[in-house]
Structure 1
Amino acid sequence: MSASTTHWRDPKRYMWALGLLVPLFPIVGAAIYMTTGQIWGWWFAPFMVYLVIPMMDFVIGTDRSNPPESAVAQLEADPYYRYIVYAYIPLQYVGTLIAVWFACTELGPWGIAGALLSCAYVNGIGINTGHELGHKRDALSQFLAKLALAPVAYGHFYVEHNFGHHRNVATPKDPASSRMGESFWRFLPRTVIGSLRSACEIEKQRLERKGLSFWHWRNDVLQAWSMTIVLFAACTLWLGWPALAFLVVQAALGASLLEVINYVEHYGLLRQQDEKGRYERCLPKHSWNSNHIVTNLLLYQLQRHSDHHAHPNRAFQALRHFSDSPQLPSGYASMMILAYFPPLWFRVMDPKVVAHHQGNLSQAHLHPSKAQKLKRRYPTSSNQGLAA
């Protein structure tokens, strides 16, 4: 190994700390409100999420560069990156408590709506913090993963993502893999209910192998949910029932933020089966990727999703771009907005799914009720044969 490779330095090293701006959204909102007395301060977070970040993705563009493979161990051993992820959680809780307090004591309807969105974005993106930590093997990271998921009441994600989604991704068995022709609004209840059922079944089977009941204290799903109960109960005792209502609504909004990203990540992509019905190994072609710099910095490079599925335990700073992975036209911040409007989403993404599969929709993950319609809309010799 050469000296230059041994001492390779991450050019984005200090830019990764920009992700810590996200949990500051409610704090900034509160500061603007207290300084100016203006309710619009609480709408700082939606302004950033729906306008500023997508515009910056467009203006700043993409970066397809990869760290050298020989530098991966060096990157993953550097505690700086781990501390950045850890630091999100105390800021997340401070921002959440500030938003709850102001909503219950100071704000009218418009201010509460802005505080709800601010809190939901912090905790919805906090699921990604829990995602990054949940893939680590040490006890501290796994505990903090559950802690990050508690404000959004999505602790079962810790189990389902690691032991369900990664095993079944881009197959009909995975409730978090969206189908071509399926709108986000149709996908949302399917993935929420399916992921919850899957997590409980996975944990039930794991505990049964140990001779334990589902209701045993070692149940990871129940442990994670208990953190939510403690947080919500404490806030309710502190600020009354309005606090509970606020937390429940922001949790639903935050969970939907995760699920719209799930919707984007594997839309229409399908792992093929061999003659024995076994699915092929998950490859770069089974995840939609984006190298847009700004959103990658804010989301711990979640958009390099192909490498994440190939190497789930690989730290975010070491994830690589693959030339054969399908590329989104923009970053997640822009794509989730598009997903909220199904006609626009289908117009942009369906042709990309068709192109990725070289016109052969038998290779795509189609919504069953839309399959024939899609094959007629995008006719090829292969599709015509299947539709006959």
Structure 2
Amino acid sequence: MWKYLKFCLFHALTLPFFIGVSLGGLWMALGLGCLLLVIVAGDVLAGDDKTEPDYHHSWLLNGLLYSSLPLIVLLFFSLLWSVSSQDLFGYGQWLHQWSGFDALAARAQNQWWHYLPLSAGAALLIAMVATVPAHELTHRTSNRLAMLVGRWLLAFSWDSSFSIEHVYGHHRYVGTARDPATAPRGRTVYAHILYATLGGNISAWQIEQNRLARLKQPLLSYHNRFLRGVAMSLCLCVLAYALAGWQGLLLFSLCALLAKATLEVVNYIEHYGIERPLNQPVQPYHSWNSTKRISSWASFNLTRHSHHHARAQLPFYQLKPYPEAPNLPTGYLGSMLLALIPPLWFRLMTPKLAQWDQQYGGQGARR
């Protein structure tokens, strides 16, 4: 049973965030602190997960994916409650009756700088609870429910276009100059966030424009999935303003933008410096992999990225660890933190890229 329950880790990691919002003040850093401690330190202490268990109850794992939608809705409302002038849905009063703790009084003492770690923690959770399951669901292009839920999950980071560009663009052009998500050698993560965000949206628009032209459908219409995705995010913005005013809209916007940036940091570490000729089939060595146990459990095996790119149609629970594939310095969150310090990141990745060139450069890598 543990092989199923381990993927509930992302549920558990939301609890410190909800507790921190309720307690207010310095406690609002609790969510961020627990994420960093559990995932980064857990990857160091818990080692690697190279197991390949058989799963006979895939409905349980699919249920965990779909459960991310109500979970992210709760996170969304907790953010708005923290800055609202009202007691949204009577949460503060309910908590006072149940525990005796006056959450409304605690909220009234919050200072603006308490929201900095709260926003960072919320962004990481949106990326983990919404974007990662959405990545899995939007690969199931023939499943209308999976696509609908996946795109709504992406709307919380203003990034429903990811469901277009990632599936039909990134997986086709990964490792080439035509892929906005692949960072060339020497590019910093901060430059990549800007390049990838702009390039990804342009690519998604062009993909959708070409699709509608083939179907002889009007570009500016309901048939345009890019525009429908924008409308989804706008609905959330309107809801944020209706429930918590400008403060709620600004806080949600900040967290959504940071969550989108987090996705591009993930893309950065997954593909930094990898080079592939456009006419060469995608191989497991065309992305960076990780076998760290906690990162894998917290991300529905997203760390098994080499197999994902080699066999993109496979569900997450069938991905193999591929320990022989090119490996990141550590787990995902740890590698993301390293990438935020460009000199350190380049120092660690330069010898890894030299090794990659020696092993795979002779197989047609673009120079």
8 Å CA contact 1:19, 1:298 repeated in 2: yes
1:357 maps to what in 2?
Answer: 357
TM-score normalized by the length of structure 1? 0.83
2:52 maps to what in 1?
Answer: 66
1:323, CA displacement in angstroms? 4.3
2:307 maps to what in 1?
Answer: 307
SS at 1:65's partner residue? coil
CA deviation map 1:242-286 (0-9, x unaligned): 2111111111111111010000001111113xxxxx521100010
Separation in structure 2 between the aligned mates of residue 323 and residue 26 of structure 1, nearest angstrom: 33
- C-alpha change, 1:360 and 1:318, in structure 2 (3 Å) is closer
1:116 maps to what in 2?
Answer: 119
Separation in structure 1 between the aligned mates of residue 46 and residue 324 of structure 2, nearest angstrom: 23
After TM superposition, list the pairs within 5 Å mapping 1:269-284 onto structure 2: 269-272=274-277, 278-284=278-284
1:23, CA displacement in angstroms? 3.8
Q: Find out whether 1:133 has 2:137 as its counterpart.
A: yes
SS at 1:58's partner residue? helix
1:88, CA displacement in angstroms? 1.2
Percent identity of paired positions between Structure 1 and Structure 2: 29
CA deviation map 1:3-24 (0-9, x unaligned): xxxxxxx752211111222444
2:72 maps to what in 1?
Answer: 92
TM-score normalized by the length of structure 2? 0.88
8 Å CA contact 2:155, 2:232 repeated in 1: yes
1:329, CA displacement in angstroms? 2.1
1:66 maps to amino acid? E
Separation in structure 2 between the aligned mates of residue 135 and residue 338 of structure 1, nearest angstrom: 29
Greater mean alpha carbon deviation, residues 244-253 or residues 163-172: 244-253
Q: Find out whether 1:101 has 2:81 as its counterpart.
A: yes
- C-alpha change, 1:320 and 1:89, in structure 2 (3 Å) is same
Separation in structure 1 between the aligned mates of residue 318 and residue 273 of structure 2, nearest angstrom: 27
Separation in structure 1 between the aligned mates of residue 11 and residue 365 of structure 2, nearest angstrom: 37
- C-alpha change, 1:28 and 1:334, in structure 2 (3 Å) is same
SS at 1:358's partner residue? helix
Separation in structure 1 between the aligned mates of residue 310 and residue 14 of structure 2, nearest angstrom: 29
CA deviation map 1:36-79 (0-9, x unaligned): xxx12211122123333111100000022224xxx5xx55x620
Separation in structure 1 between the aligned mates of residue 238 and residue 280 of structure 2, nearest angstrom: 45
1:115, CA displacement in angstroms? 2.5
After TM superposition, list the pairs within 5 Å mapping 1:113-262 onto structure 2: 113-125=116-128, 126-136=130-140, 137-262=142-267
2:41 maps to what in 1?
Answer: 55
1:151, CA displacement in angstroms? 1.3
1:326 maps to amino acid? P
Paired positions, count: 341
1:298 maps to amino acid? A
8 Å CA contact 2:290, 2:304 repeated in 1: yes
CA deviation map 1:154-198 (0-9, x unaligned): 111110101010110111100000111111112111101000000
Q: Find out whether 1:18 has 2:23 as its counterpart.
A: no
CA deviation map 1:271-326 (0-9, x unaligned): 13xxxxx5211000101000101011001010100111122121111110224410
1:82 maps to what in 2?
Answer: 62
CA deviation map 1:345-372 (0-9, x unaligned): 0000111011121189786667xxxxxx
2:297 maps to what in 1?
Answer: 297
Unaligned runs of 5+ in 1: 1-9, 34-38, 273-277, 367-388
